[in-house]
Amino acid sequence: MGLLSPLFMLGLLGVSLPILFHLIRRTPKGQMLFSTLMFLQPSPPRITRRSRLENLLLLLLRAAVLALLAAAFSRPFLRQVARLDMGKSFQRRVAIVVDGSASMQQPGVWQKVRQTVNDVVAGLESGDHPALFVFDEKLTTLHGFADPKEFDTDVQQQAVLEAMRAAAPSWRATNIGEALVQAADILTAVSEGDTEDSAQQIVLITDLQKGASLDALQATPFPERVQVDVRIVSYRPGANASLQVLRETEPQTFYRTRLVNGEESGVEQFSLHWLDQSLKPVQVASEQVYVAPGQNRVVQIDKPPDADLVCLELKGDEVAFDNRFFVLNTPPNAVAVTYLGERTEQSTAPLYFLRRTLNDTPSLRIDLAHPQTADEAVERLGREGTSLIVIGSDGLDPEMRTDVVWDAVAKAVEAGARVMWIVADNDQAAIERVLGPGWNIEAAEPPGGGKYAMWTAIQFDHPLFSPLENPRYSDFTGIRFWKWRKVSPPKDSSAQVLAKFDTGEDAVIYTPLGEGDVYLLAAGWAPADSQLALSTKFPTIIHSSLHLEGTSNDSAIRFDVGDVIKPAVASTAGLRMTMPGGERMAFDGEFTETSRPGIYRLFDEQDNLVTRYAVNVAASETDTRIRDSVELEQYGVSIGRQPTRAERLAEQRQLRDIELEKRQQFWRWGIAFALFVLLLETILAGRTAKASMRSVDVNLQNE
């Protein structure tokens, strides 16, 4: 005999009620008419306990009604011998996915993570398949699912624990979405051979910080069969303070630094110190900053005089992993630009647009000169460090069209300068003077009649156009050209055509010369030639001409841990990257091992420093407030726990019991009996009441 709802048997306690009522009764018999009760207060009924039960039959009937009802509601059934065999097909795969991002370096968190993994492993049943993954921006398998044929529960569990002992948090950002999707994919893949009722469980151990990314969950539907059990491990959520040096938009003598203090932070007073490359504090006056909890503040920190000071440290915050911010304290490169062209500056001339394009930036200090005489020009071009020479020879004063000037240009180019030459109809002699014989310049027939030409076949792999390589920016069809020249390089020349007009003529020709190079533009950017100056691509092209090899300055580019560094160099042969710890790593065009914050230095074959890169912890990682796990459900993740084998067995047993009880339905008999007994009780009670009324009447009459 079994009971489907045994809790209803508690109703048997109700049997005590009739016994109690039979033992206890009110003393008064009958009632008394009285004129008014307005002066009377109810007296508490005097209860007397009687040692002897009266109306035993009635009592038994009443108790029987209650007992029958309790029995009926508890749904009794007769058990039948039936074996419940789940078989060996049932498998529960548990993927333990541990957050190993930078925020897990908060004090004590990793120990808690290890403890949680231990707990999860301890809670596994014999037969459960565990695997351990750790994730930051990507998911890494520390211990995969074992082959079922060679499966041994204890060995697997020990392997998981060992893998966890060896694991440590990284410095990268958190991408929970990507980790869940990948873990679910792995689970789904390994469970393909499992039976229908096998369970797939992800135990996600994370701080579920607000800064974590969930975007990947939007891209793909999360498998319904995979349940995610979220275990949040955190150190005082929202207690973290962080700093970030903001990007400069113009040259300044200070860094704008944003300090963010968490809502739960117990600290309000912070100080900022400079550290050198070896992360030793230096004797520069520190700044005291007050930031209230839950607030953020931007302060101005003077740039230190020493270029070696690369790290700004925040002191006062107990969560230390994001308290250092690396910046390249590099002075801007000086770029000397010489314009040879029309004497007066007019709004229709190239110089007008050039001057407005070449503004100082945090990494460049531009010195634009406009010589008025041949002597001035020669003197200017003869200086060392001339970077860019722009020649708009269409308006060039004839007095300056001298071989002396062209020789000076050629000399400067050979010394390393770059020339942007807007070719004029009568430039053949000048070009041949600079680049050598064999060049042919002709005035092209203007299309006329509202027709125009466009650039095509642009070489986006060349550094001049590479910044515009992205399809979002690579559309040049909006730039119309209506006046150009036919420029033909010598046959054996090393000149390279970077762009052509859709009429077939060359538009941009690149020619290296000595240390420098020359870009010949068949059409200028002035309105007389084209719309190029009016395009947003124009400043990019001019600036990329300044940023070409040798003049690049990547200090303005910020990298987070995990970002890929792609240096703007023409050749990566022999380059090596030095990590913040000092170890040197080979380099093949792009560097992906930005595994910790610090200064990364790029050296060439001769061990000359090419450039440096500052890599920091991602700003999103510093927000340690906890996300609500409901957000995961909003992305379609099933939050929950798959039943264990024992629970599944209990569930099946319950289902079988329900089925048995449905077939037998003893409860109906119980209700029917209860009704019958109730009827008997009613009849008996009625008779008893009548008898007692009669005796009361007799008593009254006697009185």
> Could you list the residues that contact another protein (CB under 8 A)?
26-43, 45-46
In angstroms, give the least distance from the CB of 79 to another protein. 52
In angstroms, give the least distance from the CB of 42 to another protein. 5
Task: Decide: 214 and 631 in contact? Cβ < 8 Å.
Answer: yes
- Residue 356 DSSP one-character state: H
Closer of 49 and 280 to another protein (Cβ): 49
Question: HEC states along 499-553?
Answer: EEECCCCEEEEEEEECCEEEEEECCCCCCCCECHHHCCHHHHHHHHHHCCCCCCC
CA distance 327 to 166: 32
Sign (positive or negative) of CA dihedral 48, 49, 52, 57 = positive
Helix (H, G, I), strand (E, B) or coil at 196: coil
Closer of 50 and 662 to another protein (Cβ): 50
In angstroms, give the least distance from the CB of 699 to another protein. 12
Print burial letters for 163-185: b (CB count within 10 Å at least 16), e (below 16): bbeebebbbbbbbbbbbbbbbbe
Closer of 39 and 701 to another protein (Cβ): 39
- The owner of tokens 């059409």 is 523
Closer of 608 and 702 to another protein (Cβ): 702
Phi then psi for residue 11, to 5 deg, are -60, -20
In angstroms, give the least distance from the CB of 47 to another protein. 12
Structure tokens at 457: 């076949």
* 314, β-bridge pairs: 272
In angstroms, give the least distance from the CB of 30 to another protein. 7
Closer of 298 and 696 to another protein (Cβ): 696
In angstroms, give the least distance from the CB of 652 to another protein. 58
Closer of 45 and 514 to another protein (Cβ): 45
Closer of 39 and 305 to another protein (Cβ): 39
Task: Decide: 347 and 529 in contact? Cβ < 8 Å.
Answer: no
Phi then psi for residue 392, to 5 deg, are -110, 75
**Residue-wise DSSP of 241-308:** EEEEEPPPSS--SEEEEEEEE-TT----EEEEEEE-TT--B-SSPPEEEE--TT-EEEEEEEPPS-TT
In angstroms, give the least distance from the CB of 696 to another protein. 11
In angstroms, give the least distance from the CB of 5 to another protein. 40
Structure tokens at 530: 């084209």
Print burial letters for 634-673: b (CB count within 10 Å at least 16), e (below 16): ebebeeeebbbbeebeeeeeeeebeebbeeeeebeebeeb
In angstroms, give the least distance from the CB of 45 to another protein. 5
Closer of 675 and 689 to another protein (Cβ): 689
Report the 10 Å Cβ neighbour count for 488: 16
In angstroms, give the least distance from the CB of 50 to another protein. 16
In angstroms, give the least distance from the CB of 702 to another protein. 15
- Please list, in sequence order, all residues whose beta carbon lies within 8 angstroms of the beta carbon of residue 454, skipping any fewer than 6 positions away: 476, 477, 479, 480, 481, 501, 502
Among 311, 239, 301, 246, residue whose Cα is nearest residue 274? 311
Closer of 36 and 51 to another protein (Cβ): 36
Q: What angle do CA 276, 279, 280 make, to 5 degrees?
A: 75
Closer of 288 and 699 to another protein (Cβ): 699
In angstroms, give the least distance from the CB of 698 to another protein. 17
Structure tokens at 566: 């792609």
Closer of 27 and 571 to another protein (Cβ): 27
Closer of 42 and 87 to another protein (Cβ): 42
CA distance 325 to 313: 6
